[in-house]
Structure 1
Amino acid sequence: MKLVVALAGASGSIYAARFLRALSEIPGESYFIVSPPSLRIFSEEYETSVSKPEDVLDFIQTKWKPELKHKFHIRNFHDIGSDIASGSNVWDAMVVVPCSMKTIASINAGLTENLIERAADVSLKERRRLIVVPRETPYNRVHLRNLLSLDEAGAIILPASPGFYQIPKTLDDLGDFISGRIFNLLGVDSELYPKWVG
């Protein structure tokens, strides 16, 4: 599995952290992009200090100690001339978790002012799977229109709205539910939460 994984400035660092923790234990490789606002939000929500993407990965490794089987290739958020800014490079899917409404609006409008937006644009034009995880509430009409347009363009909208039938015991359980749903869309059975059996 080869992914592009991006953190794009919304609250909900737990969803990114738990997804990256689980992804670390799956063989494969991913390009990893983190926006400057995401670093600030991650620091605030985890009451830590991260100033670069490497710090995010180090935090996850230190906190949960996953068995590392996945290789992360860090790419600069500002580098729209990066290798993954071109469709001539191939990846299986892109996941933006969490995804700010600004990023969703930019992708929808075809703006590519940073590498997250450009890689998402490439994913859509090359017909690769693009999964965005918005963490906003409530949605206004502009949000809804942008989300609908992205869906029509081929993206998958996975709101950060965890289910509760799993009877979560911790916040991590909620993060794992959303992470598990992302993996389902990637065709990976992660077993991060108990499946509904009826």
Structure 2
Amino acid sequence: MKLVVGLAGASGSIYAARFLKALFSIEGETYITASPASLRIFSEEYETSVKTTEDILLFVEEKWKVKPKHKFHVRNFLDIGSDIASGSNVWDAMVVIPCSMKTVASMSAGLTENLIERAADVTLKERRRLIVVPRETPYNRIHLRNMLALDEAGAILLPASPGFYQMPKTLDDLGDFIAGRILNLLGHSQTLFPKWEG
């Protein structure tokens, strides 16, 4: 599995952290970039002090004592000349987690002012899977129109709305639910929560 992952500056760092934790144990590679806003929010929500995308990866590795099987390649958020800014490079899918409404708006309008937006644009134009995890509530009509435009362009909208039938005991369980749903959409089996048996 070869992915691009963008952290795009919305509340909900737990979703990114638990998804990255899940990726650590899967063979494959991920190109990852994080916006300055996502670094600030991650620091605030986890009461830590991350300054870079590398710091987030180290935080996840140390907090949950995971040994990476997965290979991560960090890319600069402002580098729209990066390798993942071109469709001549190939990846299976891109995940934007969590995704701010600003980034939803930019992606839906085809704006490419940073590497997350450019890589998402490439993912859509190359007809690859784009999974967007918006984290906002309530939605206004502008949000809904922008999300509909992304859906019509081929993206999958997976709102950060965890289920409760798995009887979560911790906040991490809620993050794992979203991570597991993403893994399912990527065609990868998951054991982060039990499937519904009826």
What's the TM-score, normalizing by structure 2? 0.99
| Structure 1 contact 8–38 (Cα < 8 Å) conserved | yes
**Residue aligning to 1:93:** 93
SS at match of 1:113: coil
SS at match of 1:173: helix
SS at match of 1:4: strand
How many positions carry a matched residue from both structures?
A: 198
Q: 1:72, 1:62 → 2: CA distance?
A: 15
Give 1:13 shift.
Answer: 0.2
**Residue aligning to 2:173:** 173
Q: 2:94, 2:181 → 1: CA distance?
A: 14
**Residue aligning to 1:42:** 42
Q: 2:149, 2:162 → 1: CA distance?
A: 23
Q: 1:57, 1:5 → 2: CA distance?
A: 12
Q: 1:67, 1:75 → 2: CA distance?
A: 21
| Structure 1 contact 22–66 (Cα < 8 Å) conserved | no
Q: Counterpart amino acid of 1:178?
A: I
SS at match of 1:7: strand
Percent identity for Structure 1 against Structure 2: 79
Q: 1:174, 1:22 → 2: CA distance?
A: 13
SS at match of 2:41: helix
The ranges of structure 1 where at least 4 consecutive aligned residues each deviate by more than 2 angstroms after the TM superposition are: none
SS at match of 2:107: helix
SS at match of 1:96: strand
Q: Map 1:1-198 to 2 at 5 A.
A: 1-198=1-198
5+ long unaligned stretches in structure 2: none
Q: Counterpart amino acid of 2:57?
A: L
Q: Decide which moves more: 109-118 or 65-74.
A: 65-74
Give 1:67 shift.
Answer: 2.6
Q: 2:178, 2:84 → 1: CA distance?
A: 26
| Structure 1 contact 97–134 (Cα < 8 Å) conserved | yes
- Any idea what the Cα deviations from partners look like across 1:169-196, whole Å, max 9, x if unmatched? 0000000000000000000111110110
Q: 2:145, 2:4 → 1: CA distance?
A: 25
Q: 2:67, 2:26 → 1: CA distance?
A: 9
Q: 2:109, 2:57 → 1: CA distance?
A: 31
5+ long unaligned stretches in structure 1: none
Give 1:66 shift.
Answer: 1.3
What's the TM-score, normalizing by structure 1? 0.99
Q: 1:133, 1:98 → 2: CA distance?
A: 5
Q: 1:190, 1:67 → 2: CA distance?
A: 18
Q: 2:82, 2:5 → 1: CA distance?
A: 15
| Structure 1 contact 17–60 (Cα < 8 Å) conserved | yes
Give 1:65 shift.
Answer: 1.2
Q: Counterpart amino acid of 1:103?
A: T
SS at match of 2:162: coil
Q: CA RMSD in A?
A: 0.4
